[in-house]
Amino acid sequence: MTKGNGRESDLLTLEDRRGLLRAMCLMRGVEERGLSLYKQGKIPGSFYDGHGMEAISVGATWALGAGDAVCSPLIRDLGAHLVRGTDLTDVFRHYMGRENALSHGREGNVHFGDRRLGVVGMVSMLPDMMVVATGIAMAFKMRSEERCALSFFGDGATSRGDWHEAMNWAALYRLPAVFVLENNQFAYSTPTSKQFAEDPIKRAAAYGMEGVSVDGNDVTAVFEATRAGREKALAGGGPTLIEARTLRMHGHGAHDDASYISAEMLEHWRRRDPIERLASRFADDEVAALEAEVKAAIDRAVEGALATPMPDPAGATASVYCSGVPEVLGEGAAPWSGFATPDALPAAA
């Protein structure tokens, strides 16, 4: 087991570290249960998880303030929803397409958001949410609000044009944004060696922003880098690109056996499991109690979701189209005040 994870940090209290461990265990437990429910036919579609990547969404979201926007958690980022306080039963209702979930059965997996929690629901097109996060950060800046927008995206997403647009615009206007690149070494079955000639983190300097690379299986490192990026953003220093290096331990989804990832590579990263590394800093009985608490919470949530009816087909078209401009920025957001004219844009930094 690699030492160093879960190390003391001046920025993290013991309670924080317990909370981080709990959130990571919850993410893994929920996804393991989800996978098993999927195999039993109780979850439709496919099932996607972030096994081995828990430290990224949990550590990064832990570093945010209540008014910040998470834009948005993707299929490896259930931990962000859990840290922001999404109801566990609702998570399973989403997986199962049940009524009463935030999207009333319309979206599966983690394709949901809750604006009350400052979590913007994702759209699948990669990396569109990065452009949305940039827009939200722009709004925060124009309103002089002390808030930042954080966006998650994978290595595969960095080869798309939208990624360039978001990076360029956010750096140009020194927007309060933190961009978290989850480099899990694959986009579906395509390894990073077949995606780009140079590591994307090196592009940060070319856009005019700081780029920081951290061990994505070290929750403390992810937390510290994000906290520093957020502080810099709020102080007017502009965005930061954080690369969290990791490995996707499962296939892209439940339908993918990941046979293209070598056993050696999997073993190398299994020894760096983010949960085991943090758990090793706590007493065994404390970890066992926490695991029992997490399991009980998951049991209750699954029971609640299974008892929830399927949505009424008659309401299938309700809430599909937007009437008016939605308030997506969570509590404390100022009302929409119309499109900005060029004069209203902040001066390029």
Ligand X SMILES: Cc1ncc(C[n+]2csc(CCOP(=O)(O)OP(=O)(O)O)c2C)c(N)n1
- Kindly list the residues in this chain that would bind Mg ion in the complex (CB under 5 A): 154-155, 184, 187
180 token code pair? 């978290």
The strand pairing partners of 191, in sequence order, are 186
Q: Does 243 bind ligand X (CB under 6 A)?
A: no
52 interface partner picked from Mg ion, ligand X, none, CB below 5 to 8 A per type: none
Position 106, amino acid: R
**Whole-angstrom distance, CA of residue 340 vs CA of residue 98:** 39
281 interface partner picked from ligand X, Mg ion, none, CB below 5 to 8 A per type: none
Q: Which is nearer to ligand X, 17 or 28 (CB)?
A: 28
Torsion sign across C-alpha atoms 83, 59, 47, 117: positive
Find the part of the chain contacting ligand X (CB under 6 A) among 184-192, 212-220, 226-234, 296-304: 184-192
Find the part of the chain contacting ligand X (CB under 6 A) among 29-37, 154-162, 166-174, 257-265: 154-162
Q: Does 31 bind ligand X (CB under 6 A)?
A: no
How many residues bind to ligand X according to rule CB under 6 A?
16
**One character per residue 88-107, x = contact with ligand X (rule: CB under 6 A):** --------------------
List Cβ neighbours of 69 (8 Å cut-off, separation of 6 or more).
118, 119, 120, 133, 136, 140, 147, 148, 149, 150, 328, 329, 330
Find the part of the chain contacting ligand X (CB under 6 A) among 104-112, 183-191, 260-268, 287-295: 183-191
Contact (CB, 8 A) for 290 and 21: yes
The candidate with the shortest Cα–Cα distance to 7, out of 242, 272, 270, 280, is 280
Q: Does 156 bind ligand X (CB under 6 A)?
A: yes
Residues that bind ligand X (CB under 6 A): 76, 124-126, 154-157, 160, 182, 184, 186-188, 248, 252
